Every structure is written in C-alpha cells, then in structure tokens.
Chain A
Amino acid sequence: DTGVSQNPRHKITKRGQNVTFRCDPISEHNRLYWYRQTLGQGPEFLTYFQNEAQLEKSRLLSDRFSAERPKGSFSTLEIQRTEQGDSAMYLCASSLAYIRGGGYTEAFFGQGTRLTVV
C-alpha cells in the first residue's frame, strides 16, 4: 500500500453538472476525512467517517454535497449542481482511530482532486 489515493487528479466541469471523486485510504486505516482547500488557504474540514459511519459533517458541507463510504474502505464525494464557488482542491486523508496509549493519530493525505467549475 503506497498511501492515500485520489481519483481523478483534475476535473473540469461546467456549472450545474454533477461530479464525483473517489478516495482509497491506507488499507488498515478506519478513519477517512474529506477536506477542501481553496487557493491561498489551509485545508478546511468537510466530513469524516469511522469505518462506514459518517460521524461528523461541517457546516461547509451544503445539501449539494454528499459523501459515502459504503463498505468502510474507499469513499466517494459527490457534488451536485456544481457552482463556480465549488472550485477548489478536495483532499482526502486517513488515519487510525486509536493507538495504544491514546493521543493524536497521524492523518495521511492524498494528492487531492483539483476541481475547476467553468
């Protein structure tokens, strides 16, 4: 396993179209996160899963956004009726949920999917 994999790397779509991105996490990681990053900003949290359960959603995740992780492995992020403001890099990360002794468990990021809405 070489790390978190995201597809496609780039997506150009017309406003109003639907797009779907895929993330394959590191195989033993049970937590999977989606972040959005706009130019000149740090990544902003969108949502995360533990196994197949979606445990938290940011208020940034409007009704047009939906994420799934049906078998607790790969995840998809769909944006319906895209708007120009959706143009951004969409980053996926994965981590273990727990480590022995507690504490922060490192999140590993994929290379991202850059979305351009024209």
Chain B
Amino acid sequence: GQQLNQSPQSMFIQEGEDVSMNCTSSSIFNTWLWYKQDPGEGPVLLIALYKAGELTSNGRLTAQFGITRKDSFLNISASIPSDVGIYFCAGPERETSGSRLTFGEGTQLTVNP
C-alpha cells in the first residue's frame, strides 16, 4: 500500500523560532493534508493542498504541494507554546470523495518558552 514518510520524527525548538517539516511518499498523491494532534485528542485538519506546486497559508502555517506530487512540506513561523503537538501529513488513498486516509508517522514538536 501507499506509505508516507515524515521527517524529522521530533523537533525541540525555542519559542519564536521557525519550523519546517516534510513528508515524502512512495507514490503519487493528488491531495495532501496536514493535521495536528494534541495529547488525548483526535487529529485536526490544518491545511489541505489540491494542486501540484500549490502553496497555501493558514495564519503562521504555510504548506506546499511538491511538483512531483510525492512530497509536501509544512512551515510554522514564529512558533508559540501552543504549537506543541504531533503534526501528521496524510493523503486520500483514492481520488473519490470521502476516501480513507493514509497517515505518516508524525513529527512531534516541542516548543520551549
């Protein structure tokens, strides 16, 4: 099946620093999703990307859909303590609406005040 590889696995940064994480796939995805999961909670969608090369922002978050359709990155600018959590990339297995998702293993972000 499809696999998503995220790096780094974990990051420890100081408040105010910028963060970059990425996700690569063994196969093409036509939609890329970035989720955040807080401890004891379910994942929450941050950004959805639909076109190769697309760059999309959501507040301090920016994500890009790689032109090969096999990678994506997420940047967080001026990190704050509430950015702490696990960030997952994900993609629908098929192009039909409401398709099941394949998730990466996550990047654990720790922000030191």
Tell me if chain B binds chain A: yes
Q: Which residues of A contact B (CB under 8 A)?
A: 4, 31, 33, 40-45, 48, 50, 56, 91, 93, 95-99, 102-112, 114
Nearest chain-B residue to A114 (Cβ)? B40
Q: How big is chain B's contact interface, by range?
A: 20 to 34
Number of cross-chain contacts by CB at 8 Å: 68
A99 B106 Cβ-Cβ under 8 A: no
Find the B residue at minimum CB distance from A34: B100
B residues with a Cβ closer than 8 A to A are 4, 31, 33, 40-45, 48, 50, 88, 90, 92-93, 97-106
Given contacts A42-B106, A103-B50, A106-B48, contact A98 B41 (CB under 8 A): no
* Known A43-B43, A106-B45, A112-B42; contact A33-B50, beta-carbon cutoff 8 A: no
Q: Is the CB of B98 within 8 A of A42?
A: no
- Identity of the chain B residue whose Cβ is nearest the Cβ of A109 in the assembled complex: B42
Chain A residue nearest to B103 in the complex (CB) = A42
How far is B104's CA from A85's CA once the two chains are assembled, in angstroms?
21
Cβ contact within 8 Å between A102 and B97: yes
Q: With A96-B98, A103-B97 as given contacts, are A111 and B103 in contact (CB-CB < 8 Å)?
A: no
Contacts of B93 in A (CB 8 A): 45
CA distance A48 to B97 in the complex (A): 13
Bound-complex Cα distance A42 to B100 (A): 13
